[in-house]
């Protein structure tokens, strides 16, 4: 059995426990020894971050060869065309190779999300679109780079699921723990 922590990483918090530049880190929220992030979530992204005390579980979650699906809600600039949504699924060429989403679709603005602190500027919020993007890879800033490549920079990005684990009902800065069986 391994310990698994589900954490709602707030905006502008690093996915690590220390920072020489004095930015907010996981240590501000999680006071538990011997747990480490299973993957990363960008400083300017929010949402589900998993931490564990198990190397095998960490590798199973974070290693791209296992293709664990990750679901993101993305607030983007402007209105996205169906052709651009199709490009995300067909694949876009990034500097480090082709990248493709498993699924990408427009959604209504999610009312269950807590407001971001600081909020997205009102003038940008008024002309934005929300998407649900499912990925099974996890390269650096991949969702942001893909959306920029199709002409829609990200205003807000929230990871809501990693495999079977979900963000809800956590609020920013909250975490919960459970024990899980180790992967085979």
Taking each continuous run of H as one helix and of E as one strand, the counts in the chain are 4, 11
Of the residues 21, 42, 90, 117, which is catalytic?
A: 42
- Give burial (CB, 10 Å; 0-12/13-18/19+) of 180: middle
Q: List Cα–Cα distances, 48 to 81, 97, 128, in angstroms.
A: 28, 26, 23
Is-catalytic flag, 82?
Answer: no
Give the whole-angstrom CA distance, residue 161 versus residue 170. Answer: 12
Catalytically active residues, by annotation: 42
């Amino acid at each position: 059995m391994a310990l698994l922590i589900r954490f709602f990483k707030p905006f502008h918090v690093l996915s690590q426990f220390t920072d020489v530049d004095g930015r907010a880190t996981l240590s501000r929220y999680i006071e538990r020894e011997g747990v480490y992030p299973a993957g990363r979530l960008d400083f300017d992204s929010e949402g589900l971050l998993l931490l564990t005390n198990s190397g095998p579980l960490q590798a199973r979650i974070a290693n791209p060869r296992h293709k664990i699906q990750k679901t993101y809600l993305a607030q983007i600039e402007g209105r996205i065309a169906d052709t651009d949504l199709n490009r995300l699924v067909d694949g876009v060429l990034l500097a480090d190779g082709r990248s493709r989403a498993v699924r990408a679709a427009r959604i209504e603005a999610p009312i269950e999300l807590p407001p971001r602190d600081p909020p997205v500027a009102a003038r940008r919020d008024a002309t934005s679109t929300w998407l649900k993007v499912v990925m099974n890879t996890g390269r650096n800033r991949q969702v942001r780079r893909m959306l920029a490549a199709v002409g829609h920079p990200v205003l807000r990005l929230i990871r809501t699921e990693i495999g079977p684990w979900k963000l809800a009902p956590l609020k920013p800065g909250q975490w919960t723990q459970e024990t899980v069986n180790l992967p085979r």
